[in-house]
Amino acid sequence: MRAHEAGALHGDIGSRGPAWLRTPDDVNALMPALWPRTVTRGADGALAVAGLSVRDLAAEFGTPMYVLDEDDLRSRCRDFRAAFPTEDVFYAGKAFLCRAVVRMIAEEGLHLDVCTGGELATALSAGMPPERIGFHGNNKSVAELARALDAGVGRIIVDSFTEIDRLTALARERGVRPRVLVRVTVGVEAHTHEFIATAHEDQKFGFSLAGGAAAAAAFKILDEGVLELRGLHSHIGSQIFDANGFEVSARRVLALQAQIRDARGVELPELDLGGGFGIAYTTQDDPATPQDLAKRLRKIVDSECAAERLAVPRLSIEPGRAIVGPSVFTLYEVGTVKDLDGIRTYVSVDGGMSDNIRTALYDASYSATLASRASTTEPMLARVVGKHCESGDIVVKDEFLPADVQPGDLVAVPGTGAYCRSMASNYNHVPRPPVVAVRDGHARVIVRRETEEDLLALDVG
């Protein structure tokens, strides 16, 4: 039975933290599933990544910072590429995107999903081949669609009848025939937090399958003959550990493929089942490997195609979190430690909800460890909180840290590669942290730290 994020968050809470959280035998031990693959604890007790001590990284680059293990990210790209050798793997850029990451995923043979003009600009400026880019979004502007066409973007996932009309007009003006997929809302609500479940009917994405809009969109594109309809697209949510949702989604989407074949005599050659594959944030999580995912998804698609007497389409998937999430940890410095008379110990760090909004936004769970040294003291149940003027400014709700944690210590929070820097803000006018990539004993800044001058440069009053 695989755990999922919503199940843990809504489970029974004990008097000393959630029921699943156990007092560690060794408070210095690292759970490998939570960390980039090159992270170790050195003989001096400090964490090291790619051969570099976090104490040296903090001294050179300051805290807080996101630390990206480049070899780890590349190896996860290769794992997906090896597991899906005849399919297309699109890295979901919304998880985290910068030019260095674009180059990494391009060099590892992956495709790239973008969903705004800014993400498209980042991809193109980094040299991503446009034919390997997919363009998502529920409200693409005329300017964004025109830029995608002029750049030669490989596929556009259409999301509304208005967008079909916009794109058709632009394609006619340019004399081009862009490849498109229709995003289908299949009515499957994945087992995640309500705010990150994206395939049930009452939401903004895609064309309703149950209401007939998805079929109407496909017929419109085929009948007008301006856009090249390549296939259908479905995305059922995020942080998913159970393949059952993909089975239901594939069955419903392929039934629509069969309906299109029967009505228009066309078998669409592609099928995109989206992403949302879960990762381990805490000891409760048990994610599937890419090989396991590939085996399950192929079995599902092959079975449903046989049932509908369809040729098996070329499959696409869209991992984002599953690639970049575990490849990054955030490094903080402790500022204060506050013991509330045995009720709870608050460990305040020099970042918070401006660099990781997910705990406040989704009630997400994270882990943490004392990173700058080892400790021989007993474990202490703590809450890691930020510096913002907000009671909900929580980074890690419950975690065992050494009882002697003190100001000046470094604390590391793993699993922060996805939806942390990409959703970061300047709340309380706090500049956003840098992203530092490490590899083979070398470190480089790939996204620099914001400064107060950056903040004031936008203030023209």
Distant-in-sequence, close-in-space partners of 354: CB < 8 Å, separation ≥ 6 = 386, 388, 424, 425, 426, 427, 428, 430, 432
Q: Which residue is catalytic, options 77, 115, 305, 389?
A: 389
Query: For residues 189 and 203, what is the distance between their CA atoms, to the nearest angstrom?
Result: 11
**DSSP per-residue letters across 163-219:** HHHHHHHHHHHHT---EEEEEEE-----SS-GGG---SSSSSSSEETTTTHHHHHHH
Residue 261 annotated as part of some ligand binding site: no
CA angle 88, 281, 414 (to 5 degrees): 95
**457 C-beta neighbours (distance < 10 Å), count:** 9
Query: For residues 320 and 80, what is the distance between their CA atoms, to the nearest angstrom?
Result: 11
Query: For residues 422 and 355, what is the distance between their CA atoms, to the nearest angstrom?
Result: 9
**DSSP per-residue letters across 116-173:** SHHHHHHHHHTT--GGGEEE--SS--HHHHHHHHHHT-SEEEE-SHHHHHHHHHHHHH
Residue 390 annotated as part of some ligand binding site: yes
> 414 preceded by cis ω (within 30°)?
no
Residue 172 annotated as part of some ligand binding site: no
CA dihedral 312, 313, 319, 323 (to 10 degrees): 70
> Minimal CA–CA distance to 115: which of 99, 139, 79, 84?
139
CA dihedral 395, 399, 405, 411 (to 10 degrees): -50
CA dihedral 261, 266, 267, 268 (to 10 degrees): -120
Q: How many CA atoms lie within 13 A of 325 on its CB side?
A: 24
389 is catalytic: yes
Residue 129 annotated as part of some ligand binding site: no
**DSSP per-residue letters across 63-83:** SSEEEEEHHHHHHHHHHHHHH
**Residues 219 and 264: beta-carbon distance below 8 Å:** yes
Residue 7 annotated as part of some ligand binding site: no
Helix residue ranges per DSSP H, 12-116? 54-61, 70-83, 99-107
Residue 321 annotated as part of some ligand binding site: yes
Residue 320 annotated as part of some ligand binding site: yes
Burial track 278-312 (b if 16+ CB lie within 10 A, e otherwise): bbbbbbbbebbebeebbeebbebbeebbeebebee
Read off the amino acid at residue 124.
Answer: L
Query: For residues 438 and 414, what is the distance between their CA atoms, to the nearest angstrom?
Result: 15
Binding-site residue ranges for substrate: 321, 358, 362, 390, 419
Q: Which residues fall in the annotated binding site for pyridoxal 5'-phosphate? A: 276, 318-321, 419
Active site amino acids: 389
Residues annotated within the binding site are: 276, 318-321, 358, 362, 390, 419
